[in-house]
Amino acid sequence: MQVELSVKIEISDHDGYCSGNECDYIVKTERKVVNVPDTYKDLKVKVGDEITEHDWTKETEDLIPQLNITESYYCNNSEKSIENGLMIHDYRMTVLSAIIIDAEEEDNDDQWI
């Protein structure tokens, strides 16, 4: 068995030099299949169960966006970013679901699908 993660990524950023540019608010959702965490392997979990208490930081670190953070910060934040609680050159990742699926565990690295 494996776990299918659904992750919401919110980004407030822009391309290019910070000179009056406005940070766009971008939202996307990614899915990834990972191995069942060790802490759950001995529990009686079955296909369709949702894992609600686990820190998925390690499994999602490859999704951290590259932000325009080496610039001067003379840019503006969009209204959408402000409404959603993001600062300039900021991001937030939220695990929407982590559901056990019927898939064989593999020894290779986890993959985004």
Q: What are the pLDDT digits (tens) for 56-75?
A: 999 999 999 988 766 566 78
- Asked whether residue 83 is domain-assigned, the answer is yes
- Asked whether residue 17 is domain-assigned, the answer is yes
d(CA 65, CA 91): 8
| pTM score, whole prediction | 0.80
Can you give the pLDDT at residue 111?
54
- Asked whether residue 113 is domain-assigned, the answer is no
- Give the count of domains, the chain: 1
- Asked whether residue 42 is domain-assigned, the answer is yes
The residue range of the domain holding 19 is: 2-104
- Strands 19-35 and 74-77 turn out to be parallel
- Asked whether residue 112 is domain-assigned, the answer is no
**b or e along 13-40 (b: 16 or more beta carbons within 10 Å of the residue's beta carbon)?**
bbeeebeebebebbeeeeebebbbeeeb
- Asked whether residue 110 is domain-assigned, the answer is no
- Asked whether residue 73 is domain-assigned, the answer is yes
Q: What are the pLDDT digits (tens) for 74-89?
A: 788 899 999 999 998 8
Helix (H, G, I), strand (E, B) or coil at 67: coil
